[in-house]
Amino acid sequence: MPEVNRKHDMSRKPPPFTVCPLLEGEENAGILLDYCNHKLAPEMAHVFELHMEKCPACAAFAESQMAVWNALDSFEAMPVSGNFDQRLRARIEFDQQDAWWNRAWSRITASGATMWRPAVPVAAALILAAGLWMRPGGISTPPAGNTVAKGEVSLDVEQIETALEDMEMLRELAAADTATRRL
Amino acid sequence: MWTRLIVPLIALMLAAPMADAQLRKGGPGGAKRREMLERFSRMSPEQRERALSRLPYERRRQIERNLEIYNELPVEQKRRLQTQYENFQQLPPERQQAARQVFRRMRDLPPERRQEIRREVIRMGRMPEPRRRAYVISDEFRNHYSPDERRMIDELSGILSQ
């Protein structure tokens, strides 16, 4: 049974290290981390320092670990610009006001499922084509002649001319029919 | 890459039969053309003038004249005319075109002769076919109309009585 164990009551006098904590397994390796993080009880810390004098592996580990902590302690975050909060809020509002299809598209393209992504434009084309197929009357064929856009349907002046001519022809014939009936 | 090719391909495959069907129908039908005419008649004079601006003056004047007559028709007469128009649209396109051509030729005649011809067409349209054939070669008919007028009457009554 090892002499150093984290399960030891720290208030009692700690036993000297007889087995290196690096070799003791996961539980006692925590002693090294606690020491480096200055969380180890002073008595235990003293015992560990005595052990490190004889154990270069623990000494090297502690040194490297302490270097990391010291580096992190000396790290200074970059200063934040004065209007950072204001800009952040504006950006969040902008994203929330973005068009629903943009948000939906972002969600689709941001997801990890790349397998079905190529199917999205195909599906969109199929839906569009199905819509057009179901209401072919909605498509106006480009007329050969003079056209005028009026609302959704373009007016073909030549078709109108023919329709008016036909109407006039039929009106004259109807008038002649009425006249001959009277005779 | 394949999606870039397949999307226009699918669109083309689906659009082709529609375009083909539209072509076989020979463009918009009677009701569609009538709707177009209604929309045109509701346009403001400025819009109408812009719409007709690319046509030669004579054609423009003729359209304006015909539209004026059409717009001034009483509601009931307009409705009857619309029904007759849709019936006329049921004729084969070549017969419709032949009737229009005869009517265009008639425009060169004096108004009273045009009226006389129209009445003759109606009378002949009511005749049974053998009687109509006999009447066309009769002296009464020959003496009353010029060769050109006779041709117009014969053609038009033939088109409309079939």
Using a CB–CB cutoff of 8 Å, tell me whether A174 touches chain B.
yes
User: How far from the centroid of its chain's Cα atoms is residue A77's Cα?
Assistant: 26
Dist CA B162 CA B159 (whole Å): 6
Interface probe with A: pick from B49, B66, B102, most Cβ of A within 10 Å = B66
The pTM is what?
0.47
- Judged by DSSP in three states, B145 sits in coil
Inter-CA distances, A118 with A33, B6, B117, B140, Å: 50, 11, 70, 81
Per-residue confidence (pLDDT) for residue B17, from 0 to 100: 44
Between A85 and A28, where is the model more confident?
A85
Under the banding of pLDDT at 50, 70 and 90, the label for residue A112 is low
Assembly ipTM: 0.75
What does the pLDDT look like over B3-27, one tens digit per residue?
454 444 444 444 444 444 443 444 4
Q: Which of A133, A163, A164 sits opposite B14 (nearest CB)?
A: A133
What does the pLDDT look like over A48-72, one tens digit per residue?
888 888 888 888 888 888 787 777 7
* Residues paired with A148 in a beta bridge: A155
What does the DSSP 8-state code read for residue A118?
A: T
Using a CB–CB cutoff of 8 Å, tell me whether A166 touches chain B.
yes
- Judged by CB atoms closer than 8 Å, whether chains meet at B63 and A161 is answered as yes
Interface probe with B: pick from A127, A170, A178, A183, most Cβ of B within 10 Å = A170
> What is the rounded radius of gyration, in angstroms, for the C-alpha atoms of chain A?
43
User: How far from the centroid of its chain's Cα atoms is residue A113's Cα?
Assistant: 12
Per-residue confidence (pLDDT) for residue B74, from 0 to 100: 94
What does the pLDDT look like over A15-49, one tens digit per residue?
556 667 777 665 567 777 788 777 888 888 888 88
Residue A168's identity, in one-letter code, is E
Dist CA A134 CA B137 (whole Å): 55
* A101-108 own/partner pairs: CB under 8 Å, 24+ apart: none
Q: Which of B43, B67, B84 sits opposite A170 (nearest CB)?
A: B84
* Residues paired with B85 in a beta bridge: none
How far is it between the farthest Cα atoms of chain A?
139
